[in-house]
Amino acid sequence: QGQLTQSGAEMKKPGASVKVSCKASGYTFTNHGVNWVRQAPGHGLEWMGFISAYNGDRNYAETFQGRVTMTTDTSTDTAYMELRSLRSDDTAVYYCAKVDSPTNSLDVWGQGTLVTVSS
Amino acid sequence: QSILTQPPSVSGAPGQRVTISCSGSSSNIGAGNDVHWYQQVPGAAPKLVIQGNNNRPSEVPDRFSGSKSGTSASLEISGLQAEDEADFYCQSYDNSLSAYVFGGGTKVTVL
């Protein structure tokens, strides 16, 4: 089924950018898409967007349009999510999740990366 | 305000059955899009427990079952156990938004 391993916690100032990595192992990376989901402290899950590891097609949530860029590196089986112009309300745990192709469910999740935005 | 509506909390005694509802609309669940359910214990990543409306991944106990009808779906946990205490989220796809959508989450408490 595979595994996703994310980069470590980040602390950023307002206005800065953050780039979170998500390395896949145990499955064929290019056969599945990757979704990014975030969770603010004490809140629910918020979908940020999707990227196909096969052809790079992307679909970003309207909330993040213009501020987020999702990419993949098929030479290292790694997905990346960059969020710019950070605000305090971007403080959250950011998850990557593998898309199960037949059902479009998120069947494998990374461990999460805490991004703290504070002056 | 989540696109999919779930009750904030449900509770039950060990061994009892609890049901979590997930209400959507004609642009997501009612459009024929599958519903998936995730379990999240505090401090951990979500875990898929039901995919494609009513299918359990092999490692998920058969106490968990899902159903879907019209614009709604449900997750049932029978024979409730202490280890089931967690937050549960439903998820589908919304054709109008062209987006994955989540419910607001339901906290399951084992009394």
pLDDT digits (tens, 9 = 90+) for B13-62: 999 999 999 999 999 999 999 999 999 999 999 999 999 999 999 999 99
Residue B1 has pLDDT above 90, yes or no: no
Q: Which residue has the tokens 């589908």?
A: B92
Q: Which residues of B touch A41 (CB under 8 A)?
A: none
CB contact under 8 A, B36 and A111: no
**Half-sphere exposure (Cβ direction) of A10: Cα atoms closer than 13 Å:** 23
Q: What is the pLDDT of residue B39?
A: 98
CB contact under 8 A, A44 and B102: yes
Residue A28 has pLDDT above 90, yes or no: yes
Average pLDDT over residues A32-57: 96
Phi, psi of B90 (to 5 degrees): -95, 155
Q: How do the residues of chain B divide into helix, strand and coil, expressed in percent and rounded to 5?
A: 5, 50, 45
Classify residue A26 as left (phi > 0), alpha (psi -120 to 50) or beta: left
Q: What is the pLDDT of residue A102?
A: 80
**Cα B37 off chain centre by:** 4
Residue A101 has pLDDT above 90, yes or no: no
CB contact under 8 A, B91 and A105: yes
- Chain A and chain B share a number of CB contacts under 8 A equal to 61
- Specify whether the CB–CB gap between A84 and A65 falls below 8 A: no
Residue type, B91: Q
